[in-house]
Structures are given as structure tokens and as C-alpha cells.
Amino acid sequence: MPGERDIYAVLDSADSEQPVSAPADRNAAWRLKVAHTFHCSTALGGCGTELTFAIGDVNIPHFRHRSGVTCALGVSGSVADRYTHLAIQNALRDWINAMPGFTCGLEVSVKEGRTDVLATGPNFEAALEVQRSQLSGTARSERTSRYLTRAATVDWLFESTGIDAFKTELAVRGWSLRIWWGWVKQECRIGVSYHAGEDTEPELKAAGGPLEQWRLTAGGLDSEHLRKAKYAVAGRQEALRHRREDEAAAAAEEASDKRRRDAAARRGALDADLALYRQYEEQLRTFSADVDSRWPAKWPALSGSPKQVLWAAGLRVKILGFLHEELANDWLDAERGYPIAQWLAEQESAKYWIEHLRDVRDTFDLLHEYGHR
């Protein structure tokens, strides 16, 4: 039948809370066999029947149900998880009960649930949750809130780093507690995984030891291992804070430098534009030579944006240049040329010069535009 070669049982009675794993070593298995009887645990949902402890020459030592027995635990697929969970709970209970002034209960009812381990110490209660299966960070928070209706603190002890709730806790505070159980030495160990290092990507480290190296306080579990982890996390967070401050300061300095460079570039461009505009104005003044009084004595300041005014001033100098040359050399009839000069002197809008006169290349184009207007 399924599960007939299980390696887990409880000792001496069906309701026993002493789980055992069949030793792989045959001599150790024989010593265990002569000292105890072995049962399928009713506390874990098993049938409660006495199991046969098979120690052969071929197969490794194992327990099996007797022929004809049907057991829901045997086919559940979670036999190892249940027995291991019970072993960890028992180890934690024995450890807590050995502390002066402490008592411990397992599977204690709290609001809308049960906590794995509830330790009662001097003037406080502390809950320990052993988590070996998958659990979300949200579910962990919800369950923690329920446990805190009774306990002062709740510590989660994760068996695997692959559990989502472990990853969430590690990401939020930089450390998370772990738990291990070894069947061979019958030893329970508590550890802590934590983020260390000063790089953006943290280094995941772990420290821990047997239960005797830990203690329960009003603030929860404590040990030299946990204090070392918290110190490393605090150092990492401080280093990252300084790095962020340095990066922010460097970014602010770079932004300030850029503003200064941009302002200098704008000033340089303005200075260049101003120099060019003054050059255009000087050229306008030279056009009054070699022509008679009908040439406009004053040219109005152009209106518009600085960019438009500079563009239009260049167009005006170019157009007036070839118009002046033709009048000075009598290549253009004065009766036709001076009215055009007067007309141009009336155009104060830089936009007009740009929209209507930018394509004028010679006197012919200018006469055509003047006649059109």
C-alpha cells in the first residue's frame, strides 16, 4: 500500500508527541527497536496503529503499516513535513520549558487561528511560527496581526529561502530568521539570513547555532548571531544612505555645473548675436554715402523676438546693400530705386522682412516684390 515504507513514526503510543526517524545505520536501528514500540501518529492525522520496524539486509531500515491497514496519513504525501514540523515544535517546547520562569504550549488557539509555539515568560508572551511550506507575505502579515492579539511578539522561523514570506521579510528589514532540524543528531538550530555588503546588490549571509545559543526576551528571539546580523544590516543601510546622499550631491553639483555652462553658452550666444546686430547697424550707416538725400536718413529699430530681429536685420542689410550699390552706380533709375528705399524704411516688423523678403536675391526680385505690394 502507499506509504508502507515510511521512515517516520512516534514512540511508544499512538498519541505520543515524540517523533522519530528510522536510522539508516542498522546497528543504531536495532538499538532503537529493542527500546521502543512505534506508532502512526494520531496527532498528525494518522491511523494510530502500531508500525512494523523493518530492518533487513537489502532495504534501509523503515517503518510500515501492517497488511490490510488503510491510513490517510500514509497517502497524504506530507508525512515527512508533518513529522519534521512536530519534531521542531517539541524541540522548541523542551528548550523553552528549560528556561527559568518560562512555560510553553503548542498549537495554542488565538484569534481565528492557532500559533505553533506560545512561550509564556515573566510578564510577557511570545509566539514562534515554524514555516516550512509556501506562504505569501500578505498571509504572513495577516496571521501576525492575529497572533499579536495575544502575544507581545511574533517571530517567524522559515525553513527555506524560497518561501515568499521569507523574501518579503528579508526585503523589508534586511534580515529574517531560519530554522533547521536534523534527524540524525536530533538537533534543532535557529539561524538568521541577512543582507550584508555595501553594493547595490546585497550579499546574502547566514549565521546561527543550536537552540542553547538563543534566548527569548520581551522583544522576541535574541542571540549573538542575530545581533551580528542586525549590526551588518544597519551598517549596510548606513553605507547605502551615505551613497545615496553622495550620489544626490554629485547629481546636484552636475546639474548646477550644467546650469552654469548653459547660462555661459546663452551669454556667449547673446554676445555673438549682439555683436552681429551691431555690425548690421554699422553697415546701415555706411549706405548713406554716395547717394542723395532721398535715401532714408534713419532706419527704424526692428520689432519682434531677438531671433526674428537678428534674422530680419541681416536680410535688411543684404537687400539694402545691392539696392544702394545700384543707385550709387546709376545702374538703377533713381525715380524707381529711392521710393523702394523709402518703402523699406517703413517696414519695422521683423516678421514682415522674414515672411515677404527673405527670398529676395537681387534688384529684379526686389522690384517685383515692391510692385506686388
Confidence of residue 76 (pLDDT cuts 50, 70, 90): low
**Burial class of residue 33, CB neighbours in 10 A (0-12, 13-18, 19+):** middle
Q: Which three cell numbers stand for residue 301?
A: 529699430
CATH number at residue 119: 3.40.1350
* % residues pLDDT > 90 (the chain): 62
Measured between alpha carbons, how far apart are the two ends of the chain, in Å?
Answer: 109
Residue 2 has pLDDT above 80, yes or no: no
* 104 shares a domain with 229: yes
Confidence of residue 292 (pLDDT cuts 50, 70, 90): confident
* 105 shares a domain with 209: yes
Note the pLDDT tens digit of each residue in 232-242.
Answer: 999 999 998 99
pLDDT at 74: 65
Q: What is the mean predicted confidence (pLDDT) over 275-299?
A: 87
On whether residue 253 sits in a domain, the answer given is no
* 331 shares a domain with 229: no
Total of domains in the chain? 3
On whether residue 275 sits in a domain, the answer given is no
On whether residue 175 sits in a domain, the answer given is yes
The pTM for the full model equals: 0.68
The C-alpha cell 498519541 sits at: 15
* 202 shares a domain with 128: yes
Please say which residue of 52, 77, 102 terminates a domain: 77
On whether residue 246 sits in a domain, the answer given is no
Note the pLDDT tens digit of each residue in 303-352.
Answer: 999 999 999 999 999 999 999 999 888 898 999 999 999 999 999 999 99
Q: What is the mean predicted confidence (pLDDT) over 155-163?
A: 95
On whether residue 277 sits in a domain, the answer given is no
pLDDT at 79: 85
* 128 shares a domain with 47: no
Residue 252 has pLDDT above 50, yes or no: yes
Q: Which three cell numbers stand for residue 9?
A: 513514526
On whether residue 357 sits in a domain, the answer given is yes
On whether residue 55 sits in a domain, the answer given is yes
* % residues pLDDT > 70 (the chain): 98
* 102 shares a domain with 71: no
On whether residue 106 sits in a domain, the answer given is yes
Residue 244 has pLDDT above 80, yes or no: yes
Give the residue numbers spanning the domain of 143: 84-237
Q: What is the mean predicted confidence (pLDDT) over 245-260?
A: 91
pLDDT at 303: 94
